[in-house]
Structure formats: structure tokens, C-alpha cells
Amino acid sequence: MIDFDNCKYLKLRKDRTPRDKDVADLLIPGEQVLGSYTTLRDYVVFTDKRVIAVNAQGVTGAKRDFTSLPYSKVTVFSIETAGVMDIDSELELYFSGIGRVRFEFFGSSNILAIGQAISRYILR
């Protein structure tokens, strides 16, 4: 599992390659991918039910660690949208059991749609 105490996902960029196929075997029937964001080797997939953080391991990155973070375990979340001079946006999620997980997005991201999906799930 990814050590969320000692890392945060920095400068995630909108993924040019959809990751739907990479996580297809992990999705439940009816679960939809909202978007994927990448760093150099790792990436994060947001669905309408959870966040799937993928950590590429080894020299080639062929070995991967998939960490599922269900919205049902979110107790609090915070969104900071990008501004005129500051083009970064941030998403902080507080999960029962693991604590805070922070994602920083660089450039264009649909962070409000992600926030809406989280709200829709946890505010039922």
C-alpha cells in the first residue's frame, strides 16, 4: 500500500492516455471512471465511487500497487480551485483509518466534478 503519511501526489496532470483499461478489473458493475491524472510514473484514477492510486514499481514500472480509497470512508474533504496566477488546484481527503491524503493538480483539471462526485456519494 502507498505510504500516505510520507507522500502526497504532487503536480498531477490530466492524463492523455485514459486509464480505464488499466483499472477495469478493479471496477464494480456500474462504476464509472471520471478521469485520470498522472505524475511521471504513478497515476490516480477517480471514479464515481472511489480513488484508485497506482504506484508503478521496479525499473520498468511493470509491477504496480493499486490502492483503493472509497469515498464511503471520507469524513471531510477540501477543494482549492486554481486562480489567475496560481494555476494549481488541490484536493484533500480525510479518510477514517488512514488520515489525510492530498492531491495537487497542475493545469486544467475537473476538480469541481470530482468534488461533486465525492459529495454525491458521502452526503446520501
pLDDT of residue 69: 92
pLDDT digits (tens, 9 = 90+) for 11-65: 788 887 778 888 999 999 999 998 888 887 888 999 999 999 998 887 766 788 8
Q: Using CA atoms in the order 81, 114, 91, 18, what is the torsion angle rounded to 10 degrees?
A: -100
What is the rounded distance in angstroms from the CA atom of residue 33 to the CA atom of residue 25? 12
Task: At 48, list the grid cell.
Answer: 464515481
pLDDT of residue 63: 83
Whether this model's pTM surpasses 0.95: no
Beta bridge partners of 90: 80, 104
The chain-wide mean pLDDT, for the chain, equals 84
What is the rounded distance in angstroms from the CA atom of residue 38 to the CA atom of residue 64? 14
The residues spanned by each domain of the chain are 9-122
pLDDT digits (tens, 9 = 90+) for 67-109: 999 999 999 999 998 776 667 888 999 998 888 898 888 876 7
Which homologous superfamily does the CATH classification assign to the domain defined by 9-122?
Answer: Bacterial Pleckstrin homology domain (2.30.29.50)
User: 100 Cβ partners below 8 Å, 6+ apart?
Assistant: 4, 92, 93, 94
> In which element (H, E) is residue 35 found?
strand 33-38
